[in-house]
Amino acid sequence: MFGKLRPLIFKLDPELAHNLAIKALKYNYAPSNKIPKNNCIETEIFGKKISNPVGLAAGFDKDAEVYNSLFKLGFGFVEVGTVTPLKQYGNPKPRVFRLEEDEALINRLGFNNSGADIVSTRIKSNPPNGLFGINIGPNKDTSNRVDDYLIGLRKFYNLADYLTLNISSPNTENLRSFHNENELDELLSKIEKEKKTLKTNVPIAVKVSPDINEEDVEKISEILYQHNISTVIISNSTDKNRENLKNINKVEKGGLSGKPLEIKSNLLINKFFKILKTKIKIIGVGGVDSGKSVYEKIINGASLVQLYTGMVYQGPNIVSKISNELIEIIKNHGVKNISELVGTKKWPWLVTLERLYNHIFYVEKMWINRQNTSQGS
How high is the mean pLDDT of the chain?
A: 92
pLDDT of residue 37: 87
pLDDT number for residue 97: 98
pLDDT band at 266 (very low <50, low <70, confident <90, very high): very high
Q: Helix 318-333 and helix 291-300: axis angle, to 10°?
A: 60
Give the pLDDT score at 372: 66
pLDDT of residue 352: 57
Cα separation of 308 and 73, whole Å? 13
Q: Does domain 2-345 have CATH number 3.30.930.10?
A: no
Please write the tens of the pLDDT for every residue from 156-166: 999 999 999 99
**pLDDT tier, 4 (very low <50, low <70, confident <90, very high otherwise):** confident
Residue 47, phi then psi, degrees to nearest 5: 75, 10
Does residue 290 have a cis peptide bond before it, meaning omega lies within 30 degrees of 0?
no
**In the prediction, which pLDDT does 373 show?**
63
Supply the pLDDT for residue 20. 96
Q: In this predicted model, what pLDDT tens digit does every residue of 344-373 receive, in sequence order?
A: 987 655 445 555 655 675 566 566 666 666
Q: What are residue 77's DSSP bridge partners?
A: 55, 131
What is the pLDDT at residue 267?
95
* DSSP code, position 57: P
Return the pLDDT at 361.
Answer: 55
Average pLDDT, integer, range 296-325: 97
The answer to whether 277 touches 270, Cβ cutoff 8 Å, is: no
Q: Are 96 and 244 in contact (CB under 8 A)?
A: no
pLDDT at 377 over 60: no
**Residue 354: strand pairing partners:** none
- 265 an active-site residue? no
pLDDT the model gives residue 349: 52
Task: Give percent of the chain with pLDDT exceeding 70.
Answer: 92
> Which pLDDT score is estimated for 270?
96
Given this model, what pLDDT does residue 269 score?
97
Of 169, 209, 237, 265, the active-site residue reads 169
In DSSP terms, which residues pair with 54 in a beta bridge? 305
Asked if the model's pLDDT at residue 241 lies above 90, the reply is: no
Strands 162-166 and 204-208: parallel
pLDDT confidence of residue 2: 78
**What pLDDT, on a 0 to 100 scale, did the predictor assign at position 359?**
61
Please state the φ and ψ torsions of residue 214, each to the nearest 5 degrees: -60, -40
CB 290 within 8 A of CB 322: yes
Dihedral Cα 342, 347, 349, 354, nearest 10 deg: 40
Chain segment 192-237, per-residue pLDDT in tens: 999 999 999 999 999 999 999 999 999 999 999 999 999 999 989 9
Provide the pLDDT for residue 369: 66
Residue 28 — very low, low, confident or very high, per pLDDT cuts 50/70/90? confident
Q: What is the spatial distance between Cα 350 and Cα 343, in angstroms, rounded to a whole number?
A: 13
Q: Are 236 and 255 in contact (CB under 8 A)?
A: yes
Confidence of residue 110 (pLDDT cuts 50, 70, 90): very high
Instruction: Write down the pLDDT at residue 371.
Output: 66
Average pLDDT over residues 116-135: 98
* Residues 72-97, mean pLDDT to the nearest whole number: 97
Q: Which residues contact 305 (CB under 8 A, 6 or more apart)?
A: 53, 54, 55, 283, 284, 285, 288, 294, 297, 298
What does each C-alpha distance from 61 to 19, 24, 69, 191, 306 come to in angstroms? 10, 13, 11, 25, 13
- Asked if 245 and 102 count as a contact pair (C-beta separation under 8 A), the reply is yes
